[in-house]
Amino acid sequence: MKEIDEIIELLKYNTNFNDHNDDFIDKLNNRILNFAKNPSSNDLKTLLSLIKTKSQGLIAKIILNLVYTIGEIGKKVEIPSDIINFLINFYFKSDQWIRKEIVESLGKIGTNQNLDEKSLRLLYNSLNDDYADLRLKALEILAANEKHHSIKYAYILISLLDNQNPVIKENASKILKMLIKEENTLVEILKNSKLELNKFHIRNLVVLFSDSVFKLHKLKEAIGNSDLSDEIKGMFFSEIDTIIKIISK
């Protein structure tokens, strides 16, 4: 293993590494996965060396195991910003499977340390990804950790309330329920966003306030006093009146 570590160090300065050396690639991938079994801060030095390698061909062949191992180590050891920045930057040039692994890795890291703004922005923006499994994983991570909740990204969650996948819709609602405690907060979000709301968005937003008839009346009053369009107000009033009738029976 010492030989592999020495080669890894040399890779930082060598752009002509033969990334077709399958035997070395296999050994290196095994070495990386071994780090995940017994995570240690000492392993971060080796990972940093790999991240800094100029051989992009090599990175492409170890990236999945590298991202997975960073996440596993991150559950027990604080991950430095240069490694987190590597994950974020690689996300935007990766296929859907690597993107999903990066989101999972950030989720693991977030259980042991506070994620920075760039990491949170990536998690929320990944909710717009075309890959449904990735969106589900990001929502699962955000729903499970209240530290990740941010009112500035509530509009992204609202946009998911008409999603045909019930799990996506339910998890988005779960987070919004914790984020939006007051009717005026919802009005401010809607006023400052460019969301194109339909009846499904509005119905699920109204449900957030369906704990009591009192809350629904307060929501109706706030909507009525807002600068929202008459069309949006009308849809809100209709949904609120319907739910009040249902829960008043």
- pLDDT category at 20 given cuts 50, 70, 90 is low
Q: How far is CA 85 from the centre of its chain?
A: 15
pLDDT at 4: 56
Q: Are 14 and 55 in contact (CB under 8 A)?
A: yes
Rounded CA gap, 97 and 71, in Å? 15
Q: What is the mean pLDDT of residues 205-229?
A: 95
Q: Does the pLDDT of residue 14 top 70, yes or no?
A: no
pLDDT tens column, 95-140 = 999 999 999 999 999 999 999 999 999 999 999 998 989 999 999 9
Helical segments of 38-131, H only: 43-51, 56-74, 81-91, 96-109, 117-125
User: Would you give the DSSP letter of residue 14?
Assistant: -
**Cα separation, 181 vs 208, whole angstroms:** 9
Share above pLDDT 90 across residues of the chain, in percent, rounded to a whole number = 69
Report pTM: 0.86
pLDDT at 236: 97
- C-alpha dihedral (222, 224, 230, 232), degrees to nearest 10: 30
Extract the tokens encoding 19. 């990334």
**Distance, CA of 27 to CA of 22 (rounded, Å):** 9
Give the separation between CA 134 and CA 137, rounded to whole angstroms. Answer: 5
* DSSP at 218: H
pLDDT, one tens digit per residue, over 64-102 is 999 999 999 999 999 999 999 999 999 999 999 999 999
| pLDDT value of position 47 | 86
User: Residue 214 and residue 209: Cα distance in Å, rounded?
Assistant: 9
Q: State pLDDT tens for residues 143-158.
A: 988 899 999 999 999 9
With helix as H, strand as E and coil as C, how does 130-148 read?
A: CCHHHHHHHHHHHHHCHHH
Which segment, 10-14, 36-40, 48-52, 202-206, is predicted with the most confidence on average? Answer: 202-206
